[in-house]
Structure 1
Amino acid sequence: MTLDTRVHAVPPITTTPLFDIAVDLEPPLKFGPGPLGRRTLYPASRGTFHGPRLRGEVLPGGGDWALYRADGTMSLDVRLTLRTHDDHLIHMTYGGRWVIPPDVRADLADTATRHHIDPARYYFRTTPLFETGSPKYGWLNDIVCVGSGYLIENGIAYHVAQLT
């Protein structure tokens, strides 16, 4: 096969830390099995985020409308409202995948201890996007991010980085 001459070298994708976010979750609402898999809502009750350029709180009312596929992988569909420390609102959405190997699933079933499981034992990645009307934080409207997730006591956390 010959190389397509239209393909060019481009600078490598790099990342810059944006923030770390911790989200407390309410008990899940299980919709049961549907045509695409098992749908479960994990309501967000509150949380915090901190980074070099912004910080604040996660407001109640968002959540993850997760879909568990037949193979056990969770597809994320998350919507959160962030309020910055200086009172600007930011809409954060992200999809992603949480792939849990079969040998880790039993350990994750124990809600009292699952946050102690090493995140290296599973794959939990997201693709956050933002929307805001704030002139101060309008730069968020034009960036793409990636996140690496892990469990914490009473919820989830992510390290979010901007693709540069």
Structure 2
Amino acid sequence: GEHVQEHPAEAAGRADLVVLMVPFDQVRGLLPPHVVQDKVLVDATNAFAGPGTPADLGGRGSSDLVAEWYPGARVVKSLNTMHFETLAVAGTAGGERLAHFTAGDDGKSKEIVAGIISDLGFAPVDTGPLHSGGILQQPGGPLFNRPLTEAQALAWISH
């Protein structure tokens, strides 16, 4: 928008970690792939075909596509399952922490993202590899837009 002071590629080039928080149909080509080479790339996007309708990706996870479009990036699916209004207040609310999920194929990258989730006041819960764990989190998946406490999320993941 009008308040952007630099191109996203310039900002991403200086970052150690990049979070994609744009509409899914704008992800491909947003950044030159070399800009995120060897960086943690958090896919916080959701693929929709229309309002409230998950996109048909032919059985692929949206994060599988992100990883394909940005080869060499260390993609972690996270920060996408909670409605923004819940996200804005839940990390500072009292009581048991709500879960935010991570899925990825690089353990160190998931640890980094889990640390950020903890710092935001949420409980990080690992859903596994990028493909299978990412599908659990994307629209239409069983964890999408379900605010679960840490205990509820861990119980769900364990069975």
Q: TM-score, normalised by structure 2?
A: 0.27
Whose strand proportion is higher, 1 or 2? 1
TM-score by length of 1: 0.26
Tell me which structure has the larger Cα radius of gyration: 1
Higher normalized helix content (fraction of residues): 2
